[in-house]
Amino acid sequence: MLRFIQQYVFIIFLILSYSFHSTEDNVIEFFEVTKVVDGDTFWIDDGTKKGQKIRLIGVNTPETRHPQKPVEYYGREASNYVNSRLKGKKVRLEYDVDRIDRYGRTLAYVFLEDGLFLNADLLKNGYAQVMTVPPNVKYSEMFLKLERKARGNKMGLWGE
């Protein structure tokens, strides 16, 4: 009987501690996009003086601003598309295992206020290729399906 009471008290304690947990952890925060660098990189206003550079997880768009490479096929279209999607907008960031890449950029899955999942949208419309870098693999299966479908439908950079 004593063991049952101890377990009961423990369960009640867990329930109460969860219910009194701060709701601030559940606040969804949106950040204003301040500058689009190219099809898979942009800056947000995170309240700091410099802002934060964001790199989309799981996708790679053709290069437009690489110092040693010329503008790649469909690079301008991808960059213009992302600019049209993000200009004057706010985004929500979702992270995976790694939050920062070797260049100091924040790695994120990006959602607009209207619910658009930007990373997936780029693949769906043929503006990007899948680029899976473990351990950031949360949406890799979905991304592969979207790329295959875009290829099959000759969307964007998969066009003729």
d(CA 37, CA 62): 12
- Give Cα 35 distance to the centre of its chain: 16
Q: Of the listed 77, 85, 105, 147, which one is catalytic?
A: 105
Active-site residue, 72 included: no
3, 24, 29, 63: which one is catalytic?
63
From first to last of its 160 residues, what are the pLDDT tens digits of the chain?
655 455 554 454 444 444 344 345 567 899 999 999 999 999 999 999 999 999 999 999 999 988 888 899 999 999 999 999 999 999 999 999 999 999 999 999 999 999 999 999 999 999 999 999 999 999 999 999 999 999 999 999 999 7
Radius of gyration of the chain (CA): 21
d(CA 81, CA 54): 17
pLDDT of residue 23: 41
Q: Judging by DSSP bridges, how do beta strands 31-38 and 90-94 pair with one another?
A: antiparallel
Q: Is 99 a catalytic residue?
A: no
Kindly report the backbone phi and psi dihedral angles of residue 53, in degrees, each rounded to the nearest multiple of 5, phi listed first. -90, 125
- DSSP SS3 for 81: helix
What pLDDT score does 3 carry? 59
